[in-house]
Amino acid sequence: MPLWFVRGLRRGVVTTRYPARPDGSAAALPTPPAFRPGQLTRDVADRIVAVCPSAALARRGDNLIFDAGTCTACGRCAAAAPGAVTSSGEWELAATARSALVKEIPIVGRQL
Amino acid sequence: MTAVEPQAAGTSDRLVGELADLGGLEVTDGGATRGAVTVRVLPETLEEATHVIAGTAGTRLADMFADNGGDAPLLRLVWAHDSGYLLTETEIQGDQYPPLSDIAPAAFVEECEIYEQFAIRPATGKPLNRLMLPPHAGPDFPRLGHRPAEPLDEAHAPHTVGGQAFEFPFGPVRQVGVESLYYGLVTSGEEVVDLYLFAWHKHRGVEWRLRGRTPREAIFLAERAEGLSAVAVGWAFAAAAEAALGITPPAGAARTRAVALELERLYNHAAATAALCQATGLTVGQSAAEIALERLLRVNAAAFGHRYLFGVVSPGGADRAPDATLLRRELPGAYGELRRAADALLRTNSFVDRLEATGILSAEQARRLGLVGPVARATGLLVDARLNTGGPYAEQPVTVVTAEGGDVLARFQVMLGEAAESVRLIGEYLDAGTAAERTQLPPGGGMGLGWAESPRGEALAWVALDEAGRIIRARLRPGSVRNWRGFDDACRSQNVFTDIPIIEASFWLTAAGLAR
């Protein structure tokens, strides 16, 4: 029996690590937004909801609803509210359930 | 190769003069489409006017579309000639107009589309294909105009299947990663006797969705009408909006667009090379071309922040500027990868033999069907929207690559020549200076025509804005729409089943562009 098979059974490793090595080109990929709840006000939330072309953002009361499955990482929200929205740098978005891609972000910024 | 300088206007004046002799014609200025000479043709002279224009050497039908401009639908025909575009407008009273595809065969696809969307049709009652809307599209299905009183019962125009021939359905679900597209193949067993396409499986109603949006909002959808031509379709749309509003983008932003457009051409031609290898069963060549493709996509991402160059073009200018240092450093290596793969392929007899004399189109077929891009240029036609784009392409004229064979090999050679020219142009535009800047869109409305040369040919857009600057009607015509019209002709030219994937790869079209 090949050695790699025995080693795999003993260590529980069936394939190579993922990723085998860091992918440098990933840094250039557009990534979905990350939000700073402390900088988010209702006005800011409404502004970024209005500029989102793919309806990935919605406001429900004092929560911002963000659907990473609908977001195209176009960057319009970060451009509209640079203090409250940044690029997440997260490009591996796979999830086992669709609902895991929908996030609620509390709006806790002080309304001026 | 032939270098062609943009020519001075003149053909339009000559055509308008000939049309004026027919009577029933009005040359419009106020409110007319900017970016093209616009003439209003009365319904009774439309057929004769179409004969005159279609019969003029050097003209081709670039697009035909309708909109509910007034009480009755307006039919617009866009004619391309050597120095620009001529647009005719005709108000259609009733539900019929002259059978224009009998005069200009290029018009057939649009006749089908216009019937589905606006319920007006050619007067002869000729059978029309189902093109955009799915069979289940009921009365509430979103349309640009009115629902036909008699919906298309037949999915396609009747085909004669005689003798030993039979119809062989293929699709719409095909191999991994390929768009949904249904081929109806009529065959006698091996030879392709006839072929028709259904592309409505991925209709997204993009033109319908654009209504009521500002150009800045709409560019997001426009560049997704055909994602593999995001820059070209986005540029055509932005240029149409800019023409409607009477503005021009800053020179640095226009060069930014040109850099992105040439990068788009490079990665598409690399992808077409990989597809040709796949279709001919050369897995080593396919891998080599896909390595080049991946390197080019990474260059795009590093230079512009998006692998497929979305978000670069914006009405009024450009939102992202390229990283010039990175492009100068990385692009030669990525292009060299493609060149090495292509050179090896051209030395491989089993590859070249499959391309030679396959999927032949003549220059006359290409002209009559209004074909564009590498498909048309491979027949010897000098058709390239960059010759009339102005801006960066006037500062640094493009050397248009043509070939004579009209077969798959000629199309491949045109693509390779264009890739080399794209690398040269990118260097020139970077030296001249690029920028991310925009001219403000002024308030007010108007109508404008815009165009850009996508990797698969001329992309056209026509936009009408109301006084609030919102879209009343936007027409997007990616290059794929024109060239699918020639695909069945290419497949019928004494080819067998296994030639079809090779011909499709050499056309390198998208179903999305047709089914937008």
**CB distance B221–A54 less than 8 Å?**
no
In a domain, B290, yes or no: no
**Higher-confidence residue: B148 or B422?**
B422
Helix segments in B246-323, DSSP class H: 251-279, 283-304
In a domain, B396, yes or no: no
Computed on alpha carbons and rounded to an integer, the radius of gyration of chain B in Å comes to 22
Q: What is the pLDDT of residue B70?
A: 64
- Cα distance between residue B487 and residue B375, in whole Å: 10
In a domain, B33, yes or no: yes
In a domain, B107, yes or no: yes
* Range in A87-101, B136-150, B193-207 with the lowest mean pLDDT: B136-150
Structural domain containing residue B6: 2-122
Tell me the CATH number at B43: 3.30.460.80
Q: What is the pLDDT of residue B158?
A: 62
What pLDDT digit, counting tens, does each position of B18-59 carry? Answer: 777 776 566 554 447 787 888 888 888 899 999 999 988 889
Q: Is the pLDDT of residue A109 over 90?
A: no
Q: What is the pLDDT of residue A40?
A: 94
Tokens of B369: 């069907």
What pLDDT digit, counting tens, does each position of B344-368 carry? Answer: 999 999 999 999 999 999 999 999 9
**CB distance B305–A30 less than 8 Å?**
yes
B211-243 burial: b if 16+ Cβ within 10 Å, else e: eebebbbbbbbbbbbbebbbbbbbbbbbbbbbb
In a domain, B37, yes or no: yes
* Range in B82-86, B189-193, B267-271 with the lowest mean pLDDT: B189-193
Q: Which residues of B touch A75 (CB under 8 A)?
A: 305, 311
Structural domain containing residue A83: 29-106
Q: Is the pLDDT of residue B468 over 70?
A: yes
Tokens of B58: 């050097």
Tell me the CATH number at A75: 3.30.70.3270
**CB distance B302–A28 less than 8 Å?**
yes
| Interface mutation target, options B220, B299, B327, chain A, most CBs of A under 10 Å | B220
B311 touches A: beta carbon within 8 Å? yes
Domain count, chain B: 1
Which of A28, A29, A75 shows the shortest C-beta gap to B311? Answer: A75
* Range in A16-25, B119-128, B344-353 with the lowest mean pLDDT: A16-25
Q: What is the pLDDT of residue B5?
A: 34
In a domain, A57, yes or no: yes
Residues B465-482 have a mean pLDDT of: 95
Q: Is the pLDDT of residue A102 over 80?
A: yes
| Interface mutation target, options B298, B313, B326, chain A, most CBs of A under 10 Å | B298
What pLDDT digit, counting tens, does each position of B405-441 carry? Answer: 999 999 999 999 999 999 999 999 999 999 999 999 9
Computed on alpha carbons and rounded to an integer, the radius of gyration of chain A in Å comes to 19
**CB distance B310–A29 less than 8 Å?**
no
Q: Is the pLDDT of residue B446 over 80?
A: yes
In a domain, A84, yes or no: yes
- Asked if B514 contacts B204 with a C-beta cutoff of 8 angstroms, the reply is no
- Cα distance between residue B130 and residue B135, in whole Å: 8
Q: What is the pLDDT of residue B128?
A: 84
B34 touches A: beta carbon within 8 Å? no
Q: Which of residues 269-288 of B touch A (CB under 8 A)?
A: none
Confidence of residue A19 (pLDDT cuts 50, 70, 90): confident
Q: Which residues of A touch B302 (CB under 8 A)?
A: 25, 28
Percentage with pLDDT > 90 across chain B: 66
B308 touches A: beta carbon within 8 Å? no
B166 touches A: beta carbon within 8 Å? no
Minimum distance, in Å, between the CA of residue B274 and any CA atom of chain A: 22
pTM of the model: 0.92
**Higher-confidence residue: A32 or B132?**
A32
B204 touches A: beta carbon within 8 Å? no
Q: Which residues of A touch B225 (CB under 8 A)?
A: none
In a domain, B62, yes or no: yes
Write the DSSP symbol of residue B72.
Answer: S
Residue of A nearest to B209 (CA): A53
B298 touches A: beta carbon within 8 Å? yes
Q: Say how far residue B141 (Cα) sits from the centre of its chain.
A: 26
- Asked if B309 contacts B260 with a C-beta cutoff of 8 angstroms, the reply is yes
Residues A99-110 have a mean pLDDT of: 92
In a domain, A82, yes or no: yes
Q: What is the pLDDT of residue B1?
A: 32
In a domain, A97, yes or no: yes
Domain count, chain A: 1
What pLDDT digit, counting tens, does each position of B258-297 carry? Answer: 999 999 999 999 999 999 999 999 999 999 999 999 999 9
In a domain, B238, yes or no: no
B221 touches A: beta carbon within 8 Å? yes
B496 touches A: beta carbon within 8 Å? no
Residues B165-187 have a mean pLDDT of: 81
Q: Is the pLDDT of residue B512 over 60?
A: yes
**What value does the mean pLDDT of chain B take?**
89
Q: What is the pLDDT of residue B356?
A: 94
**CB distance B311–A74 less than 8 Å?**
yes
Q: What is the pLDDT of residue B308?
A: 97
In a domain, B292, yes or no: no
Q: Residues near A24 by Cβ (< 8 Å), separated by ≥ 6?
A: none
- Cα distance between residue B398 and residue B396, in whole Å: 6
- Asked if B112 contacts B484 with a C-beta cutoff of 8 angstroms, the reply is no
Q: How many CB pairs lie under 8 A apart between chains A and B?
A: 22
Q: What is the pLDDT of residue B30?
A: 44
Which of A28, A72, A74 shows the shortest C-beta gap to B301? Answer: A28
Q: What is the pLDDT of residue B2?
A: 32
In a domain, A15, yes or no: no
**CB distance A25–B301 less than 8 Å?**
yes
User: What strands lie across the sheet with B182-187, from one edge to the other?
Assistant: B166-170, B182-187, B192-198
What pLDDT digit, counting tens, does each position of B379-388 carry? Answer: 999 999 999 9
CB atoms closer than 10 angstroms to residue B185: 18
Residue for token pair 């010897």: B380
B436 touches A: beta carbon within 8 Å? no
Minimum distance, in Å, between the CA of residue A11 and any CA atom of chain B: 33
Percentage with pLDDT > 70 across chain B: 93
**CB distance B307–A53 less than 8 Å?**
no
Q: What is the pLDDT of residue B62?
A: 96
**Higher-confidence residue: A93 or B471?**
B471
Tokens of A45: 């939330």
Q: What is the pLDDT of residue B29?
A: 47
